[in-house]
A and B are shown apart, each in its own frame.
Chain A
Amino acid sequence: MLRKQYLFLFLFLTVFWFYPRKAYAMHIMEGFLPVGWCIFWALLSLPLIVAGLLSIQKTIKNHPETKMLLGLSGAFAFVLSALKIPSVTGSCSHPTGVGLGAVLFGPAAMSVLGCIVLIFQAVLLAHGGLSTLGANTFSMAVAGPLVAYGVFKACRRLGAPLGLSVFLAAMLGDLFTYVTTSLQLALAFPAEIGGFMAAFGKFMGIFAITQVPLAVSEGLLSVVVFNLLVVHNRRELQELAIIPGSISSEEVRLG
């Protein structure tokens, strides 16, 4: 499996050799989304936050011993979204860190944790914003985790090893967060010529491409933490039905 990962890395790096353009990739800035869209995305995110709170309540009630694992998922998102990492486009962006939690606790729970991270960054760091909190919550804490969770489930069903499933889930969840951001901006600011698609392409160039190597990094780091969890927290993972009751040595091997 490791060889496959190297091949992955090599392919990505080769592709980006030919993509030396400047871009910044972050959340949508304070005030940079028209009021109507701010309200729209906030209303869309709100029920998912409520669902997330209920989901967390249920998980803690049914599996009280996983409380600390939930804290770990939040902490992981906290660390990763604080790390601004240089990318091959010559600019910096940061991973989201929500994929791991989505794999462990489902996408709803992560909508709450992701939103907390976004509030912290909006209030204390002027990064993202309160007016754009709904839109940023939707991209980072709803769409990203949803994709991560779906990818993980699909990979497992197709018989992919655990490590590879976690890697793909976290990587694609991270990437899709910024695809969503591009979509949100393109919807709010369609280009005069070319309309939505032209704007979408433009914002994708800014937000999503910078994110690719960072998404790979997030995937790898998620696997590292997951590997440790498999060793130290097998009981909790079994409770959450992430790994079967008895785990074979093949499964422990990372993807």
Chain B
Amino acid sequence: MSLRVKNIILILCVLALAVFPLILQNGAEFGGADGQAEEAIAQIKPDYEPWFASIWQPPSGEIESLLFALQAAIGAGFIGYYFGYMKARKNA
């Protein structure tokens, strides 16, 4: 099996791992907030008060997802540049 085929299969597995929960847990919230840990802390120690707040919070969910997308884009951009560079170097 060529490397390309192997890598495509691996990526398909990753996609399946991400899609499968959506089907399995149809109707679940898929919350990403750290709320459940907060709840657990509140249960264990009801009088605990967070002593420090975030210095800045994205004003909305849209802006937060913008920043997350930006983070991924910067990383993916570099990875793409890197492999392009290396491929060209190899062929040069």
Contact B72 A83 (CB under 8 A): yes
> Which of B14, B25, B45 contacts A221, CB < 8 Å?
B14
Binding site for B on A (CB under 8 A): 2, 5, 9, 13, 16-17, 20, 22-24, 26-32, 34-35, 68, 71-72, 75-93, 120-126, 129-131, 185, 189-192, 199, 202-203, 206-207, 213-214, 216-217, 220-221, 223-225, 227-228, 231-233, 252, 254
Contacts of B71 in A (CB 8 A): 78-79, 81-82, 120-121, 125
Binding site for A on B (CB under 8 A): 1, 3, 6-7, 9-11, 13-14, 16-18, 20-22, 24-25, 28-38, 40-41, 44-45, 48, 50-58, 64, 67-69, 71-72, 74-76, 78-79, 82-83, 85-87, 89-90
CA distance A233 to B18 in the complex (A): 30
B88 to chain A, nearest CB (A): 10
A153 to chain B, nearest CB (A): 23
A-side interface mostly: helix
| Chain B residue nearest to A181 in the complex (CB) | B37
Given that A82-B75, A84-B32, A126-B54 are contacting pairs, would A199 and B67 also be in contact in the complex, using a CB cutoff of 8 Å?
no
Contact A35 B32 (CB under 8 A): no
Given that A71-B82, A123-B55, A185-B41 are contacting pairs, would A13 and B32 also be in contact in the complex, using a CB cutoff of 8 Å?
no
Contact A232 B10 (CB under 8 A): no
Number of A-B contacts (CB under 8 A): 198
Contact B21 A24 (CB under 8 A): no
Contact B67 A125 (CB under 8 A): yes
CA distance A2 to B13 in the complex (A): 11
Contact B3 A231 (CB under 8 A): yes
Contacts of A122 in B (CB 8 A): 54
Between A and B, 29 residue pairs with Cβ closer than 8 Å are A13-B20, A22-B29, A22-B36, A24-B33, A32-B37, A32-B41, A75-B79, A76-B75, A78-B78, A79-B75, A82-B71, A82-B75, A84-B32, A85-B18, A86-B21, A86-B22, A91-B28, A92-B32, A123-B56, A125-B67, A125-B71, A126-B56, A130-B54, A131-B51, A131-B52, A216-B17, A221-B11, A227-B6, A233-B86
Contacts of B32 in A (CB 8 A): 24, 26, 84, 91-93
Contact A31 B17 (CB under 8 A): no
Contacts of A121 in B (CB 8 A): 71
